[in-house]
């Protein structure tokens, strides 16, 4: 199979480590000497159709090295949903630039793009290796133990909830509760990760609601009342995508993106945190706060997990290795070998098994009442997060 040129792009939301994967691809491709040029799609698949390319082989070594610690999407991202009428143009550009390796770094929808482009070229008789590189803070990709970007975003959320919990605990005579909303449209991995914020009994979060379990107002009010009785204040974490038993989003959002996914937070004009805040205020008369995180935690470079960044980099290098071996139609995957000591191996997952689908948290990762992650999830998540700062409190020695 011809090597020709390699093209790489980034799609979907940014993370603090997606550029580390990009650096891995560039360095491995250039080191191989197997490609005439290494190109970068400016604005993802849209940039390819518009012939907007970075010549990545002409980038300085310090620039490529610097990508490993730079958040955001250096190539600029896209959320374009492929249409049938796009394929003739895509094939035309691939042929024009003799592109024989097509890569995208991204999540479920991105893997669908790689899968469809690779399949179209195969049907048209054009030799092309299509390989996906995993990226999503939501951690909802099938075929991989976890996704690059998740651990860093989890750490950011964990620290936010821990610090917010200290504030809420100390201000409980003024504010009786705090509600913190994480991103995660269909899966509760990020919301669940905030359980690691607890240092000792009584710390927040007390309640965590994930999209994998249907939400009821009655259960929530009872949960909050019990938490308040036990601790004198309530810390709630909610995933943005939680729904009522009939499937209606708790956020009340009906806005959809180009992939027919419900938009939450600022984009949707509604939020789960605001709704839960209203429920507690109206039922109990409590005063409280709500906190909503969006893209800031996705690209929080100050709280990036170095292990996460290294794994992202290795995924990029692995993608090039697979392409040079003639592999196509796969996504690079992370397979966990051991928890203690933590170790992984890189493998592959078929794109057709990954595309468009979202991987929910297993039932065993959620407690029976559906308002907190289980110990099994804590055991899964703990090796991904480095040591957290310890906060102290005064001893109970009153006059």
pLDDT higher than 50, residue 351: yes
- As a whole number, mean pLDDT of residues 1-9 equals 86
Is 31 labeled as ligand-binding?
no
Which helix (H) or strand (E) segment is 209 a member of?
A: strand 207-209
Could you tell me the pLDDT band of residue 270, with boundaries at 50, 70 and 90? low
Express as a percent the part of the chain with pLDDT over 90.
87
Is 194 labeled as ligand-binding?
no
Structure tokens belonging to residue 164: 């917010």
Regarding beta strands 129-134 and 330-339, do their DSSP bridges make them parallel or antiparallel, or are they unpaired? parallel
- 88 Cβ partners below 8 Å, 6+ apart? none
- 183 Cβ partners below 8 Å, 6+ apart? 137, 138, 190, 239, 240, 264, 265, 293, 294, 297, 298
* From 8-12, 297-301, 364-368, 381-385, the region with the lowest mean pLDDT: 297-301
Is 19 labeled as ligand-binding?
no
Residue in the structure block whose two tokens are 């490609």: 35
Which helix (H) or strand (E) segment is 222 a member of?
A: helix 217-231
- As a whole number, mean pLDDT of residues 256-267 equals 49
- Interatomic CA distance for residues 89 and 86, integer angstroms: 6
- As a whole number, mean pLDDT of residues 28-38 equals 97
- 61 Cβ partners below 8 Å, 6+ apart? none
Question: Are the CB atoms for 89 and 46 separated by under 8 Å?
Answer: no
Is 42 labeled as ligand-binding?
no
Question: Could you give the residue numbers annotated as active site?
Answer: 138
Could you tell me the pLDDT band of residue 269, with boundaries at 50, 70 and 90? very low
Question: Are the CB atoms for 150 and 139 separated by under 8 Å?
Answer: yes
The pLDDT of residue 356 is: 78
- DSSP 8-state symbol, 392: -
Q: CA geometry: angle at 94 spanning 92 and 99, to 5°? A: 160
Question: Are the CB atoms for 192 and 373 separated by under 8 Å?
Answer: yes
Per-residue pLDDT tens digits for 69-92: 999 999 999 989 999 999 999 999
Ordered DSSP codes for 82-147:
P-GGGHHHHHHHHHHTTEEEEEEEESHHHHHHHHHHHHHHHHHT---EEEEEE--TT---TTSSS-
- In SS3 terms, 286-306 reads as CCEEEEECCHHHHCCHHHCCH
- Interatomic CA distance for residues 31 and 305, integer angstroms: 26
Could you tell me the pLDDT band of residue 396, with boundaries at 50, 70 and 90? confident
Is 367 labeled as ligand-binding?
no
The pLDDT of residue 255 is: 47
pLDDT higher than 70, residue 268: no
Q: CA geometry: angle at 159 spanning 307 and 241, to 5°? A: 90
> Which domains, from first to last, does the chain contain?
5-148+303-354 (3.40.50.450), 150-301+360-383 (3.40.50.460)
pLDDT higher than 70, residue 42: yes
Question: Are the CB atoms for 261 and 293 separated by under 8 Å?
Answer: no
> In a 3-state reduction of DSSP, which class is residue 17?
coil
Regarding beta strands 342-350 and 330-339, do their DSSP bridges make them parallel or antiparallel, or are they unpaired? antiparallel
Q: Phi first, then psi: give them for residue 124, nearest 5 degrees.
A: -85, -5
Which is higher by pLDDT, 256 or 331?
A: 331
The pLDDT of residue 198 is: 95
Average pLDDT for the chain = 93
Could you tell me the pLDDT band of residue 358, with boundaries at 50, 70 and 90? confident
Q: How big is the chain, counted in residues?
A: 399
The pLDDT of residue 227 is: 97
- Interatomic CA distance for residues 29 and 89, integer angstroms: 26
Per-residue pLDDT tens digits for 125-172: 999 999 999 999 999 999 999 999 999 999 999 999 999 999 999 999
Nearest to 25, CA basis, from 329, 317, 332? 317
- As a whole number, mean pLDDT of residues 198-226 equals 96
- Interatomic CA distance for residues 222 and 48, integer angstroms: 53
- Interatomic CA distance for residues 83 and 81, integer angstroms: 6
- Interatomic CA distance for residues 148 and 20, integer angstroms: 10
Structure tokens belonging to residue 229: 């009785």
- 384 Cβ partners below 8 Å, 6+ apart? 146, 150, 151, 154, 305, 307, 308, 342
- As a whole number, mean pLDDT of residues 199-204 equals 92
* From 48-52, 103-107, 263-267, 390-394, the region with the lowest mean pLDDT: 263-267
* From 45-49, 61-65, 149-153, 253-257, the region with the lowest mean pLDDT: 253-257
- As a whole number, mean pLDDT of residues 17-22 equals 98
Is 13 labeled as ligand-binding?
yes
Per-residue pLDDT tens digits for 285-323: 999 999 998 878 898 999 999 999 999 999 999 999 999
């Amino acid at each position: 199979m011809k090597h020709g040129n390699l093209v790489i792009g980034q799609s979907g939301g940014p993370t603090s480590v997606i550029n580390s994967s990009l650096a891995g691809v560039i360095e491995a491709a250039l080191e191989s000497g197997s490609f005439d040029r290494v190109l970068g799609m400016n604005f993802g698949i849209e940039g390819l159709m518009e012939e907007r390319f970075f010549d990545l082989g002409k980038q300085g070594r310090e620039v490529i090295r610097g990508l490993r610690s730079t958040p955001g999407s250096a190539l600029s991202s896209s959320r374009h949903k492929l249409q049938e009428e796009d394929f003739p143009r895509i094939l035309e550009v691939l042929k024009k630039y003799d592109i024989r390796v097509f890569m995208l770094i991204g999540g479920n929808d991105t893997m669908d793009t790689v899968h469809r482009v690779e399949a179209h070229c195969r049907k048209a008789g054009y030799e092309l290796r299509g390989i996906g590189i995993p990226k999503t803070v939501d951690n909802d990709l099938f075929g991989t133990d976890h996704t690059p970007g998740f651990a860093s975003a989890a750490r950011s959320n964990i620290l936010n909830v821990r610090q917010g919990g200290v504030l809420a605990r100390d201000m409980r005579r003024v504010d009786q509760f705090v509600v913190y909303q994480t991103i995660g449209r269909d899966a509760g991995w990020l919301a669940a990760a905030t359980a690691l914020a607890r240092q000792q009994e009584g710390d927040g979060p007390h309640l965590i609601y994930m999209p994998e379990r249907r939400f009821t107002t009655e259960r929530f009010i009872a949960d909050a009342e019990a938490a308040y009785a036990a601790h004198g204040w309530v810390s709630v974490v909610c995933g943005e995508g939680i729904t009522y038993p009939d499937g209606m989003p708790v956020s009340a959002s009906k806005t959809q993106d180009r992939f027919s996914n419900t938009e939450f937070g600022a984009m949707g004009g509604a939020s789960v945190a605001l709704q839960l805040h209203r429920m507690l205020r109206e039922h109990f008369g409590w005063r409280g706060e709500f906190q909503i995180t969006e893209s800031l935690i996705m690209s929080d470079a100050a709280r990036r997990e170095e292990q996460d960044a290294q794994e992202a980099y290795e995924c990029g290098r692995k993608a090039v290795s697979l392409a040079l071996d003639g592999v196509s139609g796969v996504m690079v995957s992370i397979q966990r070998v051991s928890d203690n000591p933590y170790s992984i191996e890189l493998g592959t997952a078929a794109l057709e098994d990954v595309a468009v689908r979202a991987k929910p948290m297993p039932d065993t990762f959620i407690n029976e009442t559906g308002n907190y992650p289980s110990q099994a999830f804590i055991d899964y998540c703990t090796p991904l997060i480095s040591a957290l700062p310890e906060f102290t409190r005064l001893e109970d020695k009153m006059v």
